[in-house]
Amino acid sequence: MTATDWATAVLLPLGALFALTGTIGMVRFPTLLGRMHASTKPDTVALLLILAGAAFRLPDLRTALPLALVAVFQFMTMPVLAQTLGRVSYTRGMVVAEHLVTDELEDALEKRRAESGRTGTGPGERD
């Protein structure tokens, strides 16, 4: 086996392992936010490792460039998805208070509600 073979032999299974733990985490964590933490980060690492592993199989750097593009798009889209889901889950009241040590967003929304003087109209309203 050559050095590149070894690199692939280490990187691909390691990436697969991260993807597996991310998926198991998604099943095992009780809250939506916990699940998102468990799935987004290990999955990104897994993708990076698998792409790196795959890049070592390619003949030269030029053919490996599109793989870098995949990583770039993952980094650009993943935070948007995580943030959207996080916000929606909060608005829908799916964030369970017992799993939180503090919730300063709730405090801020309460303050905003008190200031506006009426309830049920703010855009950041929690059901």
Partner 1 sequence: MNAVNGAGMRLLGRLPMVLWLTVMWAVLWGDASPGTLIAGFAVGAGCYVAARLPHLPVRLRFRPLWAVRLAVRILWDLLASSVQMAYFTFDRPHRVRGAIVAVPLRTDSDLLMAMVSGGLSLVTGSQTIELDREGGVIYVHGIPIRGEGDVPRLRRDVRRIEELFVRAFGSTADIADFEATEHAMHAARAAGREER
**Sites of contact with partner 1 (CB under 8 A):** 18, 21-22, 24-25, 28-31, 33-34, 36-38, 40-42, 44-45, 62-63, 65-66, 68-69, 75-76, 78-80, 82-83, 86-87, 90, 95, 99-108, 124
CA angle 60, 47, 63 (to 5 degrees): 15
HSE-CB at 77 with a 13 A cutoff on CA atoms is: 8
Least distance CB 57 / partner 1 (angstroms): 16
> Of 8, 2, 6, whose CA–CA distance to 50 is shortest?
8
Which pair of structure tokens corresponds to residue 83?
Answer: 């943030």
Q: Between 7 and 94, whose beta carbon lies closer to partner 1?
A: 94
Least distance CB 2 / partner 1 (angstroms): 24
Q: Between 1 and 30, whose beta carbon lies closer to partner 1?
A: 30
Q: Between 5 and 122, whose beta carbon lies closer to partner 1?
A: 122
Least distance CB 95 / partner 1 (angstroms): 8
- Cα separation, 64 vs 122, in Å, equals 49
Q: Between 2 and 121, whose beta carbon lies closer to partner 1?
A: 121
Least distance CB 96 / partner 1 (angstroms): 10
Distances (CA, A) of 5 to 51, 66, 71, 120: 14, 21, 22, 60
Only one residue has tokens 């009780």, namely 30
